[in-house]
Amino acid sequence: MSGRERGSATVLAVGVIAVLILLLGGALTVARVVRAAGQAAAAADMAALAGARVLQTSSAPAACAAAGRSVSGNGAVLVSCAAQGQDLLVQVSVATGVPGAGQAAARARAGPAEARTVR
């Protein structure tokens, strides 16, 4: 090995390790965002179901309060809640924990199943 090539494998190894670290960091960032999106979707679904159940026997504000309690228990924030007929519509958000990525948001709607006529 000539004097000019001595240590070149070390530089190459450091470069490869740096690239691997960057790729791992990117993968972890994507995983955190995907996890937050899943958490938001689950929280929205459960909040809509909890609120819709209350809406059947009570008022829209009581239903939204129930939805809010459900959302809080699932680590999310209730962004909006509205009754539309017998359905309850909710929107929630969850912090991604990734700088610059903002919030993961999800919407859900729940209410009684409509009776369908089969012909």
Q: What is the pLDDT of residues 74-97, one digit of tens each?
A: 999 999 999 999 999 999 999 998
Beta bridge partners of 80: 91
Of 117, 68, 116, 115, residue with least CA distance to 88? 68
Proportion of the chain above pLDDT 70, given as a percent: 93
Q: Does residue 104 carry a pLDDT above 60?
A: yes
Distance CA 43, CA 60 (A): 19
